[in-house]
């Protein structure tokens, strides 16, 4: 089985986010980038298939040279080979087009992508790839088993879970539950050293259409002042909640 894990290079959630050019561009200065968490769950599941079923695991990203430390981490975790499409990931449609081209030429049986990235939260790329390539697709996937050419997946739905039987080739939009956080892997020194010897193929973007563009970003409003009320002064608390906050 040949697996491709799609990797998105996203800001660490602890990073302080700022914008430039009249709030039209994201400011990357001082921002630490990591593997998108939903993609990392997928990568960890792919490693399980590699170890238990002898699968070959490739990873791919759409990004410029600055994304290479992130994809090298995926190689250090255990992926066999990496592909970087040398282009800025301008929007979801463009990214899906580039990844679809990688998949067409790669002969992959299973494509694992995160259901969404934690930066723009578009939630569109896996479904778009499936539509472009006319592949079976399971989104919000929290469990996946493969036996031969057959796959059994479980996905979250409103109010419960749904178990699906399908076949390869297959693309999934994975999330937490595909593996648990405790299963995620930290590259060890041996993995880091081996990653330096693994192939990282850089390919140029093929055509592609930017269907959307960012017009303006807006930060959340700052938190308001906090009033502290002595725990014994219930009357004052009730008065503030009723007359000032107007919540009772």
The whole-number pLDDT of residue 65 equals: 96
The whole-number pLDDT of residue 100 equals: 97
What is the reported pLDDT for 208? 80
Q: Going residue by residue through the chain, which has 248 residues, state the pLDDT in tens, using 9 for 90 and above.
A: 999 999 999 999 888 888 999 998 889 888 999 999 999 999 999 999 999 999 999 999 999 999 999 999 999 999 999 999 999 998 999 999 999 999 999 999 999 999 999 988 889 999 999 999 999 999 999 999 999 999 999 999 999 999 999 999 999 999 999 999 999 999 999 999 999 899 999 999 998 888 888 899 988 888 888 889 898 899 999 998 999 888 88
Compute the radius of gyration of the chain from its Cα atoms.
22
- CATH class of the region 2-216: alpha beta
* pLDDT for position 224: 80
The CA distance from 11 to 191, in Å, is 23
User: What's this model's pTM, rounded to 2 decimal places?
Assistant: 0.88
Domain ranges of the chain: 2-216
| pLDDT given at position 104 | 95
Task: Give the model's pLDDT for residue 207.
Answer: 85
172 CA to centre of own chain: 12
């Amino acid at each position: 089985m040949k697996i491709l894990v799609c990797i998105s290079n996203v800001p660490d959630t602890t990073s302080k986010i700022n914008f430039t050019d009249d709030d039209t561009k994201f400011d990357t200065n001082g921002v630490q980038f990591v593997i998108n968490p939903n993609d990392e769950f997928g990568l960890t599941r792919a490693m399980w298939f590699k170890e238990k079923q002898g699968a070959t695991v490739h990873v791919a990203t759409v990004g410029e040279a600055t994304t290479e430390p992130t994809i090298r981490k995926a190689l250090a975790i255990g992926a066999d080979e990496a592909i970087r499409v040398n282009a800025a990931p301008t929007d979801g449609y463009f990214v899906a087009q580039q990844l679809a081209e990688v998949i067409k030429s790669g002969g992959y049986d299973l494509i694992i992508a995160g259901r969404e990235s934690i930066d723009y939260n578009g939630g569109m790329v896996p479904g778009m790839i499936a539509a472009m390539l006319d592949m079976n697709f399971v989104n919000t996937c929290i469990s996946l088993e493969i036996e031969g050419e057959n796959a059994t997946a479980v996905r979250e739905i409103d109010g419960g879970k749904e178990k699906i039987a399908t076949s390869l080739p297959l693309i999934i939009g994975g999330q937490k539950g595909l593996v648990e956080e405790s299963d995620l892997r930290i590259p060890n020194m041996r993995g880091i050293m081996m990653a330096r010897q693994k192939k990282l193929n850089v390919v140029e973007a093929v055509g592609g259409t930017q269907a959307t563009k960012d017009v303006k970003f807006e930060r959340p409003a700052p938190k308001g002042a906090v009033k502290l009320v002595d725990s014994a002064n219930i009357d004052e608390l009730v008065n503030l909640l009723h007359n000032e906050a107007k919540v009772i």
